[in-house]
Structure 1
């Protein structure tokens, strides 16, 4: 028995190739990725379509389902598309067909649907057996002249039919309708645009080949979404057009009716699900994240969107509006202008996108013109033969009569008159009626028309400017036919929604405890009292906890927070949780990255740094517990990390005590817990960097420590205010403190023996200011500074706050007169304490 197997086993082995598995997997994955990129997920820059869109439209074209035909069942269209061109399942095809019919998904729908094709609420289309479709008129413009050899065709999946590689696309569909898709390792997200604007830009590029992106942006203002809404600012649009990538903020269109107390939403950002939006707003209202909303209802109908939000009677309309904008009514459209160029993915700017379309359209018009020229020349050739036959009609008729049959007649005519095969075929087929003078004239007229057509087509093919002129003319005709008004408007970025917009601007008191509990309360919570009052509860403290700091600010202020460890943090007033007087507060670790034992000792408002009354460079002047003082320019504190940065270098055991804003011309008064004080000029302390320790400010006595520093402008009416731990204090004119050199022992500021106790703090105050004093146990008292007597140095002072036994003053801050309301001033008793009398130095 014979066999075909070779005797040598190595012959078969020679057909086996050895490959590394990682190389084979890499190449297989690349092949798969490119198949997804080119065959499914990304649009072609020329017609703006993915293969499934192109195949659906071509299947409808082949089936005669045009804009002028009757609607056909969607299932029929899906079946023909799947059977002939796209064997990937009916659901994918029908989803694409439905989207092309949705006027809220496509700026210019390519399919005219009849039936339920889904809604802006996210409702799915009805089953394909219930809906009907046909091509929209504008879709026919994409397929126009496809039968004139304008584009290349390739075999379909089973080699039975031919399908177009791209559509002729008489308008720039990629920009007009946009596209989105996710491929392997890349994605595209191209917004829709206004047809008229895109065509105007294309025409401009035809007439000005050197036009820049900026020039084209004079015509293409920005995306034009089918759902309207507003684009906030133009920065994201400009970035997208110049680089191919950008983030466009889209804001819903709404009306605020303050008289009726309602907000009415009439347009939504592109691709926003209305039902889900209403549900999210309702959830936030129920969870307490959105306050001030009484009722929410969807009154939308076929005429448009209308979502009504009724507000409570006492609601702040602007606050509710901004909360809605931040969480619900504004979205970002991330533009990624990625498309296939010659089969490869490429990110394109606006000019490149239009230029690639123009290159495609130039090729389409050239091939169409060549096709029509060939047809015209063929027709002219036939007409030339017929005209020759008419001019020699008697001889032609006689030749045909003498011939034995049709083939013999053709041969005789070719020999006698030098006709071509095509010409004699038409001549032999001519009817006797065509020999009339009228018919003869019609042939002559047609021949002249065909000759003129040939001349025009040859001119288009040989003259680039004429070819571009044809493209321009056809684009303008489409613009005249389909252009409409912009739906998406632009609003300037003056109403930027930032987190601070959601918080009403108000003056606040911030309290912090030694265990790092922090909170803010409205300043209006604390009305002014006469000095010597007990105050009211300002916070609820845990057992063994005590108040460590209190300061006055505004919810929108930027605050520089200094700690005893010499660190500085940056904080916004509204970032501090708002709570009632009797609340404990929340842990500060969620706001400030404090270490164990670290606590706030000074807070500087950046509004003070920007004070126009300061003429020159601003400095942060810091004093430590051990008597060191340092000035550092505010420019050194521009970039403050969330974890804080170092403000001053401290020796072991030393702590930062107080910070003041100065301008180089202030006079500084440093006071100690033991009641000593020293005054010297600010320029006695040279400016240093953040990492410096500073220089000696005061020579401390044994066991004494620095309590604070006051920076006084001697040209303005102000006083130095000193308050002790036992609740006593005094005001003194700056002239009571003579100027000395720094690092001296200083003079007595206030007597601390007996009732007063150690000094707690020193502040600079002026007319109309109020003082906020807080005790260790959490009592707060607010009083006008002018209630505290003006006395000399070395006095006992007067009672400022009446403390219970064992309680002590923890901290204090000054309310500038700009923050003091007329109402609070009216309640102030300006009486002074007659017991406060100055004594000798």
Structure 2
């Protein structure tokens, strides 16, 4: 290392620090800065620093609701130059979002110009758009000039900015919030302000109110884009009680009848934060992939009002079933998470329940009320002091005039003559001559009386906590009346609707077409289009060959039965398609290298199957008991290694034929019990050797087995008939040496 690097700078010092310690210290500082200054909102006003600085800068520019608009470039410039030393694009994006009525439930900024739309189009450049505050933002700022909150120096020390806004509006829950910090995040959906004020009033009247008491006022979120809430009441309660959870939201739709018995579905409200253009693209893409077979067409007929038209494939389609398939496959149904992770009054991040958030807002309003009252009392005291001085003038007018005219130091003379304070003396000396009219004296006495009465009232307020909470209750009621009614305050999201019970076969998402499922001896599975004939030649990897070939439909469920007694289920449309080698079946199901597939077949409702293991035990099982659409499958036949399952055949007939090493036994099928899971019963007696194969057949049709290149059928089976678990007899001449029926 060069010497000049080792030498500390003149007048300074250096010390060595382990890299891990230096990194952790700096990363911790970065994490805290991100959490406190960027990502998490304050529970009291529901704002992040950039939003708070925007509103305060607009307030300083006097952009009140009654004032004119100003260019957004001017607003962004003020915010960036005075309060928020970050990029102008991030500031403008925050301003734009506060002005979008489809993004903010109660917009804090009123925009003029192009501020984007629900399709996801961006706003115009800031030099083209204008903005001013809304009445909601005005309510957040109300009292900020009356010492209601603390201020701190800005980043350059030239200005001051508020630590928090007075917040006469429940902004955190009303407008919601979202943000990702380092190691934590927040996600709060919007709510109805009138309902929040009702819940806050409940909490004022009853500080011990439970979450159930509050939920009578707040049934759930209220999104600016409307929609239908389909979350259960139990899940909603749990979410608000813990501060964590989520809400499922569906689009609002209606059936619009057309001529000749046809109809179409019209979607008028889509879920919150879903871009309409992307939603239509998603639906069109799924239609192209043939995953929405019930839907014929989709059109966007929206103006400033959402109107998506969905045409069914045919008029015989059930509208509810069609919409259920769309809800499951598209963003017409979405889930909005709830994670009320916010900064409390001490700037500490923590997850709060609904009651905690409302309590924190009410406590903040109490602090604001006390500070504003103290500020007003101080102002009244100053004014009364001056008014008392004025009244002394009127009582001693001639003497006051003489002192002013003749004395070299009139201020000191007035203070000595009448016992005035310096403030009163200065006010008298600054008084204009025309204020000495009798009429002015009457006005001053009226003002003095009015201020004295107000002072007495405010002093009583400061002495009584109950009176303060009564005053807060009046403020809440006024806020509810102002923002809880009308077009802005009316609830838009239908709350607490139970999830409609519409039976939809998941296979409705798949277009039905014939396929041939092929499983190789080495366990590679694939599907080819169409039903291939038995003589069709198939290609496999070198050293591999065909084991099973099965005709099926893409809407079928394929059951695989393995030597370990487990059954697995695959959706036919999920099996790799094409003329390639396919995919190892062990990647699709949890099957060890020691186990193999005994057979695979298409599931049919009502079918029954005979299962058996090499130890000679088995039973009959319903086909539904073999279904298990999970990777680990389902244990049906219990076997102990080295024994293994070897038979899974349709139980269609009245008799069972079972083969062992050198014996054949035939007995009635009704002697085999029907079970859902287990080892079963002994099918054939075994002293040594093992069960080889089994077949269920109809007695009048006879027992068949492969003989040479053909099939032999034996109808006279008296020599081999017996009872279940019998020893059996030697198979007839010509029976396959491997003791397998092979048909």
Q: Report deviation, 1:508.
A: 11
Change (3 A) 1:511 1:723: farther
Match of 2:172 in 1: 174
For the 8 Å contact 1:121–1:275, the answer to whether it is kept is yes
C-alpha change, 1:279 and 1:660, in structure 2 (3 Å) is: closer
User: Are the structure 2 counterparts of residues 362 and 570 from structure 1 closer, same or farther at C-alpha, using a change threshold of 3 Å?
Assistant: farther
Larger deviation, residues 639-648 vs 565-574? 639-648
The separation in 2 between residues aligned to 1:729 and 1:151, in whole angstroms, is 98
SS at match of 2:330: helix
Deviation at 1:175, TM superposition (A): 0.8
From the superposition, tell whether residues 132 and 754 of structure 1 become closer, same or farther in structure 2 (CA, over 3 Å). Answer: same
Please give the residue correspondences for 1:339-738 in structure 2 after superposition, counting only pairs within 5 Å.
339-341=342-344, 342-390=346-394, 393=395, 395-405=396-406, 408-430=409-431, 438-483=439-484, 484-490=489-495, 491-495=497-501, 500=506, 502-503=508-509, 515=521, 542=538, 562-563=561-562, 565-571=563-569, 591-594=588-591, 598-601=596-599, 622-629=611-618, 642-644=631-633, 647-650=637-640, 652=642, 655-658=645-648, 671-672=658-659, 676-678=665-667, 696-699=682-685, 705=691, 707-708=693-694, 723-725=703-705
Distance 2:8 2:688 in 1: 102
The corresponding residue for 2:241 is: 242
Cα distance, 1:688–1:433 mapped onto 2, change above 3 Å = closer
CA distance in 2, matches of 1:439, 1:34: 59
Structure 1 runs not aligned, ≥5 long: 1-8, 526-535, 612-619, 662-666, 712-717, 762-807, 810-841
User: How far, CA to CA, are the matches of 1:328 and 1:413 in structure 2?
Assistant: 80
Report the 3-state secondary structure (helix = DSSP H, G, I; strand = E; otherwise coil) of the residue aligned with 1:486.
coil
State the partner residue of 2:268: 266
Instruction: Give the conservation status (yes or no) of the 8 Å contact 1:512–1:550.
Output: yes
1:334 equivalent in structure 2: 337
What does residue range 298-337 of structure 1 map to in structure 2 within 5 Å? 298-302=300-304, 304-313=305-314, 316=317, 320-325=322-327, 326-337=329-340
Query: What is the distance in 2 between the residues matched to 1:655 and 1:162?
Result: 80
The equivalent residue for 1:161 is 159
Please say if residues 230 and 252 of structure 1, whose CA atoms lie closer than 8 Å, have aligned partners that are also in contact: yes
2: CA distance between counterparts of 1:688 and 1:289? Answer: 34
Aligned to 2:415, the other structure's residue is in SS state: helix
Larger Rg: 1
> Residues 433 and 294 of structure 1: is their aligned pair in 2 closer, same or farther, counting only changes over 3 Å?
same
**The residue matched to 1:159 in structure 2 has which SS?**
coil
For each residue in 1:393-424, what CA deviation from the matched residue of structure 2 results, as whole angstroms up to 9, or x when unmatched? 2x442243145557744434433332222233
TM-score (norm 2): 0.80
**CA offset at residue 338 of structure 1?**
1.7
CA contact (8 A) 1:707 1:759 kept: yes
**Alpha-carbon distance between aligned partners in 1 of 2:163 and 2:263, rounded to the nearest angstrom:** 57
Q: 1:124 to 1:639 in 2, by over 3 A?
A: closer
Distance, in Å, in 2 between the alignment partners of 1:551 and 1:640 is 20
Please tell me whether the aligned partners of residues 296 and 312 of structure 2 are also in contact (alpha carbons under 8 angstroms): yes
Matched, 1:191 2:189: yes
Match of 1:745 among 717, 727, 733: 727
Per-residue deviation, 1:189: 1.9
Secondary structure in structure 1 of the residue aligned to 2:331: helix
Tell whether the 8 Å contact from 1:292 to 1:311 is kept in structure 2 after alignment.
yes
Greater alpha carbon shift after TM alignment, 14-23 vs 668-677: 668-677
Secondary structure at the residue paired with 2:399? helix
Q: Residue 51 of structure 2 is aligned with which of 50, 53, 70?
A: 53
Shift of 1:689: 9.1
Assess, with a 3 A threshold, how the Cα gap between structure 1 residues 706 and 576 changes in structure 2: closer, same or farther: farther
For the 8 Å contact 1:256–1:263, the answer to whether it is kept is yes
Q: Give 1:569 shift.
A: 2.6
SS of alignment partner, residue 466 of structure 1: helix
1:242 aligned counterpart, secondary structure: helix
SS in 1 for 2:199: helix
RMSD: 4.9
- Tell me, in whole angstroms, the C-alpha distance in 1 between the residues paired with 2:37 and 2:614: 73
* CA spacing shift, 1:20–1:353, aligned 2, 3 Å: same
> Is contact 2:185-2:341 (8 Å) kept?
yes
Aligned pair in 2 of structure 1 residues 546, 12: CA closer, same or farther (>3 Å)?
Answer: closer
> Take 1:757 and 1:278, find their aligned partners in 2: how far apart are those partners?
64
Inter-partner Cα distance in structure 1 for 2:73 and 2:451: 44
Residue 131 of structure 1 and its aligned partner are, at CA, apart by 0.9
The verdict on how the C-alpha distance between 1:561 and 1:450 changes in structure 2, with shifts beyond 3 A counting, is same
- Judge conservation of contact 2:646–2:692 (CA < 8 Å) in 1: no
1:285 match: 287
**After superposition, what is the alpha-carbon deviation per residue over 1:304-327, rounded to whole angstroms, capped at 9, x for unaligned?**
112223343488455653443223
Aligned residues of 2:256 and 2:265 also touching (Cα < 8 A): yes
Q: CA deviation at 1:154?
A: 0.8
Tell me the alpha carbon deviations over residues 307-364 of structure 1, each in whole angstroms, 9 at most, x when there is no partner. 2233434884556534432233222222222222222222222111111111211111
Deviates more, 1:380-389 or 1:199-208: 380-389
Partner of residue 778, structure 1: none
Give per-residue Cα distances to partners, 1:137-192, cap 9 Å, x unaligned: 21111111100000011111221111111111111111111112222232222211
Of 311-320 and 46-55, more deviation after overlay is shown by 311-320
Partner Cα separation in structure 1 for residue 20 and residue 517 of structure 2: 63
State the partner residue of 1:118: 116
Return the alpha-carbon distance in structure 2 between the equivalents of residues 301 and 731 of structure 1: 77
Q: Is the 8 A contact 1:255 1:265 kept in 2?
A: yes
**What SS class does the counterpart of residue 188 from structure 1 fall into?**
strand
Give the match for residue 206 of structure 2. Answer: 208
Contact between 1:659 and 1:709, CA under 8 Å: does it hold in 2?
A: yes
Confirm or deny: 8 A CA contact 1:668 1:682 kept in the other structure. no
Partner secondary structure for residue 443 of structure 1: helix
Note the C-alpha offset of 1:757: 12
Measure the CA separation in 1 of the matches of 2:574 and 2:534. Answer: 16
Figure out how many residues of one structure are paired with residues of the other and give that number.
709
Alpha-carbon spacing, 1:237–1:197, altered in 2? closer, same or farther (3 Å) = same
> Structure 1 residues 212 and 575, CA, compared in 2 at 3 Å: closer, same or farther?
farther
**How far has the Cα of 1:211 moved from its partner?**
1.7
The whole-number CA distance in structure 2 between the counterparts of 1:607 and 1:554 is 16
For the 8 Å contact 2:720–2:728, the answer to whether it is kept is: no
**Against the structure 1 CA distance between its residues 288 and 640, is the aligned structure 2 distance closer, same or farther, given a 3 Å change threshold?**
closer
SS at 1:180 equivalent: strand
Q: Does the CA contact (< 8 Å) of 1:679 and 1:737 recur in 2?
A: no
Question: 1: CA distance between counterparts of 2:302 and 2:666?
Answer: 73
Q: Secondary structure at the match of 1:489?
A: coil
Deviations 1:589-625 (A, max 9, x none): 565455588234488989879x9xxxxxxxx985324
CA distance in 2, matches of 1:644, 1:340: 47
CA distance in 1: counterparts of 2:570 and 2:67, whole angstroms: 65
